């Protein structure tokens, strides 16, 4: 009976590269599942799954790794954005009840939320939702100021009524 190590050596010799690279090509590049991948390599499905898991190439592992990478990149982006921001600076429009005063406070709340995300990565889901909401509000204010929000509303209304 051939051992896992012997299978590994055979495959590396046949493909001329490390097993991790072979597995990456089969799972990621060719999108082979455990049945087709094990058939391609001439090994059991169980051994294929074991190697796929060992190299973090399973669908859930790849998804989790990608999410972690995106989170790390987002935190780095926030750090860069906030590098020159003084969170304690005075509000320019704090005595006004106006759209620009509202926009200023929303922008400042967004800065705080990003800072919170940098400080405590464990609150990631909450931070993602909150920053998304605040960014959307800022975007709507910008569209409103550019007289585009009413056009968006009318366009969306027209499409909604078509489906009724």
Domain segments of the chain: what residues? Answer: 4-57, 68-162
* Average of per-residue pLDDT across 80-93: 94
Residue 77 neighbours by CB under 8 Å, 6+ apart = none
DSSP 27: I
Among candidate residues 22, 20, 16, 19, the one with its CA nearest the CA of residue 8: 19
* Average of per-residue pLDDT across 134-152: 95
pLDDT, one tens digit per residue, over 26-46 is 999 999 999 999 999 999 999
* Average of per-residue pLDDT across 67-80: 88
What is the structure's pLDDT at 67? 85
What is the structure's pLDDT at 135? 95
DSSP 17: S
What integer best gives the mean pLDDT of the chain? 91
Q: What is the pTM of this model?
A: 0.65
What is the structure's pLDDT at 121? 65
Give the span between the Cα atoms of 134 and 108, in whole angstroms.
10
Among candidate residues 49, 118, 53, 44, the one with its CA nearest the CA of residue 81: 118
Give the span between the Cα atoms of 142 and 8, in whole angstroms.
58
Burial (CB count within 10 angstroms: exposed 0-12, middle 13-18, buried 19+), residue 26: buried
Residue 123: how many CB atoms within 10 A of its CB? Answer: 13
DSSP string covering 30-69: S---HHHHHHHHTS-HHHHHHHHHHTT-SHHHHHHHHHHH
Give the span between the Cα atoms of 145 and 147, in whole angstroms.
5
10 vs 128, higher pLDDT = 10
Percent of the chain residues topping a pLDDT of 90:
74
């Amino acid at each position: 009976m051939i051992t896992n190590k012997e299978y590994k050596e055979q495959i590396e010799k046949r493909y001329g590269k490390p097993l991790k690279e072979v597995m990456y090509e089969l799972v990621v590049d060719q999108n082979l599942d455990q049945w087709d991948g094990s058939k391609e390599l001439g090994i059991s499905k169980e051994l294929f799954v074991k190697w796929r898991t060992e190299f973090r190439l399973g669908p859930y592992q790849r998804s989790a790794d990608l999410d972690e990478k995106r989170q790390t990149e987002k935190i780095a982006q926030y750090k860069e954005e906030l590098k020159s921001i003084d969170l304690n600076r005075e509000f320019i429009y704090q005595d006004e009840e106006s759209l620009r005063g509202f926009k200023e406070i929303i922008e400042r709340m967004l800065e705080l939320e990003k800072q919170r995300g940098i400080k405590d990565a464990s609150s990631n889901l909450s931070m993602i939702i909150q920053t998304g909401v605040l960014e959307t509000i800022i975007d709507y204010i910008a569209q409103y100021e550019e007289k585009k929000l009413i056009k968006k509303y009318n366009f969306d209304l027209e499409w909604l009524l078509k489906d009724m």
